[in-house]
Amino acid sequence: MKTEGCRKWRELLGAYALGHLQGAERLGLEAHLEGCDECRAELATLTPVAELLPHADPARFESAPQPPPELGQRIAAVIEAEKRRDRQRRQRRRFGFALGGAAAAIAAAVLLLFVLQGDGEDPTRHVKFTSLPDDVSIYATLEPHAYGTEIHMYVKGVASGTLCRVYLRGPGGTDYSAGTFRYRWGDDSNAILSSALDLSRTRAIVVHAGKRTFVAPVDAPVAGASDGNEEEAT
Amino acid sequence: MIQLGTSARGALSRERDVREAYAAHAGELYGFAVRSLGDSGLAEEAVQETFVRAWRAGDRFDPKIGSLRTWLFAILRNVVIDLGRARSIRPALADGGPEPSVEPLEEALLAWQVEEAMRRIGTEHRRVLVETYYRGRPYAEVAEELGVPEGTVKSRVYYGLRALRVALEEMGYED
């Protein structure tokens, strides 16, 4: 039964649901609840909410973590690259060059790499990291886009599961994130990443593989791109 | 519940739709990914993989079954499970550094929902819930600090819980 006194009691329901109400107020509210269907129904909607509170960490209430501004562009770049690969695949099939199996696909990618390298007009940069342990090899292909630079990373020989963080270094030495990937044995070793930094302003590519850091310059022409790169102390 | 203004089937089959979906939902997805994976780099990876998978499967999205937001969260949940599984079966790496701790996924989702709902309610309501519930302070003390009667603190606790319930419902939480 709804009465004029209902509001007074109802506004105590929150404290009651949290177990904070004591003494005469608690007894009075419980007496009111005995005879008020509406307040009982209201309490029934608050109790499950009160029971959820212990799950939350109040230190996280003030601000939510925000994704980095370039993440949307990176996702668009990955989708664009996937569309381009689909188109190339369809074209290869159309011209009778469809190749079966992962090994053939990798061979085709290497072939494509050499074709691109032979084209003097091609703006793509190819970088080979040289200061590496004997069994490790890292290559990168960088392509210019309106949004920045697309990076294809080819990694072999690092521990399976190693987290690799990739950055492009600008003229002032500022590193622009290009994202992360994990190298896995048996998986495709080609990771496609992107960075907001234009290729024309990119001076070096930096790869943090686990705790090791490798840097290779990318401003040199293709023929000299493999010279002068180094492992940085971390 | 947050709905994207898309009514046709195949809502993510075009890149423009992915951009719209990203603008509408990436913040929430990223927040949950950080909460459940405990690592911002992995969370970026998870959100990226979520949108790429959603784009690949865009034709299969049917708004009659559920909202785009619910669908994206379902994909993210699978991505987080995959990432967690990959992390748990991977042998200790010589150079991978310590792994961040991970809460069980359902607990992380529940925690994130309550925290997100708390961020959506008014400052005054959140304040009294933090002071009285999380800090366990007496109502009279909180009332004095805020310069309001004790009854006002109690009523703010009531309206705060109501606002929290509405926020949780908007986020798709069901008892």
pLDDT tens digits for range B127-154: 999 999 999 999 999 999 999 999 999 9
Ramachandran category for residue A14: left, alpha or beta (phi over 0 → left; psi -120 to 50 → alpha): alpha
Mean pLDDT across chain A:
78
Give A113's pLDDT tier (boundaries 50, 70, 90): very low
Contact criterion met (CB < 8 Å) for B41 and A180: yes
Is the distance from CB of A140 to CB of A151 less than 8 angstroms?
Answer: yes
Among the partner-chain residues A14, A60, A79, the one whose CB lies closest to the CB of B160 is A14
Ramachandran assignment for B97, one of left (phi > 0), alpha (psi -120 to 50 degrees), beta (any other): left
- A-interface mutation test, from B153, B157, B165, B168, most A Cβ less than 10 A away: B157
How sure is the predictor about A221, in pLDDT bands with cuts at 50, 70 and 90? very low
Q: Are A170 and A176 in contact (CB under 8 A)?
A: yes
Confidence of residue A96 (pLDDT cuts 50, 70, 90): low
Name the residue facing A65 among B30, B134, B160 (closest C-beta): B30
Q: Which of B11, B154, B118 is nearest to A62 (CA)?
A: B118
For residues A112 and B76, what is the distance between their CA atoms, to the nearest angstrom? 34
Nearest-CA neighbor of B63 among B14, B16, B17, B5?
A: B5
Interchain contact, A80 vs B96, CB within 8 Å? no
> A2 CB contacts (<8 Å, ≥6 apart)?
A36, A38
Sign of CA dihedral B101, B103, B108, B112: negative
Mutation site for B-interface testing, chosen from A55, A132, A147, A185 by largest number of B Cβ within 10 Å: A55
What does the pLDDT look like over B78-135, one tens digit per residue? 999 888 776 665 544 444 444 444 557 888 888 999 999 999 999 999 999 999 999 9
Strand pairing category for A230-232 and A190-195 = unpaired
> Of the candidates B96, B133, B154, which has its C-beta nearest A163's C-beta?
B96
